[in-house]
Structure 1
Amino acid sequence: MTPKQAYDLLEIDEQTPMDGVKQSFRRAAKLYHPDTASGLGDTDKFHMVATAYEIIIKERREPGSNITRKPQNDASQKSDFTFPYFIRFLRRKRKEKQARKNGEESAGRRFTASSLLTYKELLIRFDRAPSDWVKIEAAHAIYSHFNEKFESFAVPNRISSKTPEKVLVELIDILGRIGSPTALEAIAQHLSNRNRKICCSAFIALDRAGEPGHKVIDKKLGTKSAISYFIDGFFRRSDLERCALKQRIVSRQKMRRLIAVMRETGLPLRELLDGIGVKIQQTAPRL
């Protein structure tokens, strides 16, 4: 991960002061922590956020950095993120989860201001949010406290091309967890999106939904049958596709649906595989 990617992930820029960097990190870490009360925790995203924070801190400590930093003798400098801090953060979250199970009052520390808002107030907070992170927080709060209303909240107005990329990806992920026919149909419209992140997030959400999601993909893209795909494999299969199937990294069912997405969007197969988290070591052809 590059410093630029780290800044983009935390929704800040190079001129953001350290207090703003820490606030953004804590907000993101709380959203994606595996033990989050909303049930939307994502271990991979959580570790990506922690890695991004480490990269930013490391960059700002390097000599010659053009970022304005506090003097070295400032006592607040000691509070910068370190690995021990990260471990303490995990331990604290684990204790809070255990406290919640035991009915202890300390579990109340987990709740934020968003938890105290009504459904209508959360809608206003989402629509008028000054940043993507605030929108994502509001969406998580709606799913956590008003689960039955989330689908009507997101579909169709807020899951559209006008929604910022980061927020749209989050909404797609949550709708995929709901898994209702309406939610899956709403996600399917983004399978033809030429933005790789949005397209791949839609594919992941539908694939995770199982058979209902697979049927939606096949209906939307006109995926070839297993027999047609097998026959075409003798004439049209690329080296990358053969390599992925040979290494059994991707199943044939998933691959033929990815090929349908590739034909619909024009995105290269390697980019689609990277977008769904599949890494392939392609060997050089024999001479």
Structure 2
Amino acid sequence: MKVAVMGAGAVGCYYGGMLARAGHDVVLIGRAQHVDAIRAHGLRLETQSFDERVRVAASTDAHAAAGAQLVLFCVKSTDTESAAQQLQPHLAPDALIVSLQNGVDNAERLRTQVAQEVAAAVVYVAAGMAGPGHVKHNGRGELVIEPSATSDAVARALIDASVPTEISDNVRGALWAKLILNCAYNALSALAHLPYGELVQRDGVTDVMRDVVAECVAVAQADQVVIPGDVDAAVRRIAATMATQYSSTAQDLARGRRSEIDHLNGYVVRRGAARGVPTPVNRVLHTLVKLVESREGDAVA
């Protein structure tokens, strides 16, 4: 299968690297520093079970996606429309675009920009870029994908590449379940500069997380979203299964980049306002992260 990864950060490099390692024709489209390192030395894929250099194509230009049967769309939620516009002229008519992004509305936003089939997916992986062209996998790695004309074949390819994959009719609910996890952990990990395992040991943190979750669940119910599984147990499990992981928001702030907080706690605040559901704890966390972003932006300027 020819695969293009649009947005070759930690998530894109992990899944693209796993597919390339399994023999698929993969191109990673990302930032110049990573592309240069991957072209020179291959992608270093450091996981809990192996540490290898994977030979894979890399480019800084969206035209590299030409002819791809599968496009893993892994850009930040803030860049969904602009990245889709760059990609659109190069897409094969029968390409499947799978959104591997945080937030719950990226697939809908993608469909406004491209004519090809788009499938939403929920990503459960702890990974980070440890250096140019070097992705470090810290835990998990499963995907949940919504049904499409080719999702069965894509799921088989991913499973064969050692990526546990499930096709679900309730991806919207699964996306909300993931959103709740992000809302519970991301801002707090970023503000405290702590990984999940240490974060939950600090006084008052689990109480704040419980309040965040309660607000998110209330908004989801008002939006008639059916959330699968035990949300509270899932929140507790994250600290156990991803103890050393810093949130993507923490990683963004550490690099002086704009985070996805508007599409996480900020999204819950907006949906709560639309539905008349109070979200004061999510509002505070969203505001605090935005303040840190603006402070760091001023420092760079």
Tell me if both proteins adopt one fold, taking TM over 0.5 as the criterion.
no
> Which TM-score band applies after superposition, normalised by the shorter structure?
under 0.3
Q: Using CA pairs below 8 Å that are at least 6 residues apart, which structure has the higher relative contact order? A: 2
Instruction: State TM-score, norm by structure 2.
Output: 0.26
